[in-house]
Structure 1
């Protein structure tokens, strides 16, 4: 049986589908699975041993080159039609993902109108399945595939299926990053898209001091100029214990993560990447809901904002700031608590 999975983005969403793919392989070994995904995240599905082909589709690029949409969709239809799929499963639950799924010309399955992120998407499916909206995103994906292929999730552990990839990373050498891994370190995943999800810079500075007391360095990756500038400011306050990393792609960051003693991160896709690679970690959730999108995996701990308004799920805070001008829910997540939790998960 040839199966096409559709999960286009984002980084966290793509990672959240991996355990469901592992379930499918354990219950129905031998499936040929392809994956339709945005190019920025195309290497992630390829890390899972069950995925045969990764098919990138650059919908985001069409925002700037919209006139290229017809030819791109026609080419995608030809590509998908040549693969002789038995089923397509749209795990994204959006109209755009449902439309792309239909291009394969075979039955498409997905979430029903009460379960999908965009209820209209269900009209493109041959059959929609009900999954509780308030379940964690990983659980929702696992339940969807279990219903589509009619197998039980009983006794199936949470497994991202990246064990072989992790061993490959551990065995590989990278001279360009060797200078960063010579001493024990943790990774500080400070970059995120929402203003309200940022952890205060003074807290990162305090975490760096706590790392120094534990004989650890704090390594800071970055993905844009603003994140790089923030990392450099944190380093300036703690030059002996903080190292700002060079610009890294996902593979090089994964190589570094599997050598870390652990990580502390805000609600960001990179925290989910670290968890999928079995890196012990502490994730900081202020305005967002860890029940639905919290980091899941071995040796993971979530610190949630201790304010009445959290989680508000808002990009901008309309509540009074603290005396220091900080978002209250994030300010309640103290560096000492993060370090204590990290020490605990590292022991476990």
Structure 2
């Protein structure tokens, strides 16, 4: 009998896809010999290509065309991607997203689809594309990583693992020198897709100066023109210890950069979650989203601070960073508190 083949559907966003990565390790340990494919929207496909446990990454390009209003290009792209999606038959297709779009994509593939049962705020009718639904009571109220792991375990019929989540990303190569400073360095993830998640610039400046006094350079990432301008303002205020990438790193570049970072402090964003998945000691700061749901869970040292509607003080961030620095032994870096 051929080894089973499973397709996972988690299309977006970066942070959500990262929080589903531990499912790969769970499946391969619980069901040895299983081949796992994954369908995802670009550009996150490049990140999944770094996971040795994924046999085939099937990229889609739905969001960009929709945003740009290029519906003709979207149709051509769907026809192209549809061929990849239908290229082989699956023993089980697991929709980890539970949205109308993901359910339709799952239904277009060849095989029985299992996904989450609808809840009070779910999009209507999406579950009609499933052969079977996993009851929400099994994972309701759990953090996002655990919810993904429970959903996959229920769909494929193995016990929920008790082991810590393993993300499985392997850096492809050392990042180019124009993207990251010399070690040791910290990454300060100041930007987010939602302004309410961000912190005051003064907080980042004080944190950057504090890290600099402890022998760390500071890398200030950006994702758009507004974030780049803020990153430059922060770097100018922090001084020569701060660095702004002159071009936007790719996701594969980021895995390499974050794997080399001494510590990462960031708001609730994809790059912060990628930091923990890449093995960097990480402080995640929550101000507008639930830390109970979106918190970091990883084998790497980490701290989750704040919660929706609660401000996180600079001293709290410094104490968490100092705690993580104290757990590492790196020449030239002081882990003493403020």
- TM-score using structure 2 length: 0.88
Q: Aligned match of 1:22 in 13, 25, 32?
A: 25
Aligned-partner SS, 1:133: coil
Q: Map 1:213-228; keep pairs closer than 5 Å.
A: 213-228=213-228
Match of 2:114 in 1: 109
Shift, 1:133, TM fit: 2.7
Q: 2:90·2:112 contact (CA, 8 Å) conserved in 1?
A: no
**Aligned match of 1:147 in 143, 154, 159?**
154
Residue 40 of structure 2 is matched in structure 1 by: 37
Deviation at 1:115, TM superposition (A): 8.6
Partner SS state of residue 235, structure 1: helix
1:202 corresponds in structure 2 to 202
Structure 2 residue 50 is matched with structure 1 residue 47: yes
> CA deviation digits over 1:157-197, x for unaligned, max 9?
311122xx14x54xx3634447x12x421000111011111
The correspondence for 1:129, drawn from 134, 138, 152, is 134
2:235 maps to which residue?
235
- Kindly indicate whether the alpha-carbon contact (under 8 Å) linking 1:76 and 1:103 is maintained by their aligned counterparts in 2: no
The farther-off stretch of 214-223 and 75-84 is 75-84
- CA separation of 1:194 and 1:87: change in aligned 2, threshold 3 A: same
- For residues 45 and 250 of structure 1, what CA distance do their matches in structure 2 show? 10
Find the aligned partners of 1:277 and 1:269 in 2 and give their Cα distance. 12
Structure 1 residues 303 and 155, CA gap change in structure 2 (3 angstroms): closer
Asked whether the 8 Å contact 1:15–1:44 carries over to 2, the reply is no
Hey, what's the Cα distance between the residues in 1 that align with 2:32 and 2:9?
20
Q: Which of 87, 97, 105 is 1:100 aligned to?
A: 105
Counterpart for residue 257 of structure 1: 258
* Distance of 2:253 and 2:76 partners within structure 1: 34
Q: Which residue of 313, 324, 328 maps to 1:345? A: 324
Separation in structure 2 between the aligned mates of residue 115 and residue 104 of structure 1, nearest angstrom: 27
Match of 1:174 among 173, 176, 193: 176
Unaligned regions of 5+ residues in structure 1, if any?
306-310, 313-328
Which SS does the other structure have where 2:186 is aligned?
A: strand
Q: Provide the residue aligned with 1:60 in structure 2.
A: 63
1:40 is paired with a residue whose SS is: coil
Contact map agreement 1:272 1:296 (CA 8 A) in 2: no
Query: Across the two proteins, how many residue pairs are aligned to each other?
Result: 318
**Residue 299 (structure 1) aligns with:** 301
| Structure 2 counterpart SS, 1:33 | strand
Distance 1:184 1:82 in 2: 46
Distance 2:75 2:207 in 1: 51
Local SS of the residue matching 2:7: strand
> Offset of 1:241 from its aligned partner?
2.2
- Whole-Å Cα distance in 2 between the matches of residues 88 and 254 of structure 1? 28
Aligned twin of 1:283? 284
CA distance in 2, matches of 1:106, 1:235: 51
CA contact (8 A) 2:175 2:257 kept: no
- Could you tell me how far apart the structure 1 residues matched to 2:121 and 2:20 are? 15
Q: Is the 8 A contact 1:186 1:262 kept in 2?
A: yes
CA apart distance, 1:3: 1.4
- How far off is 1:82 after superposition? 2.0
Deviation at 1:116, TM superposition (A): 8.5
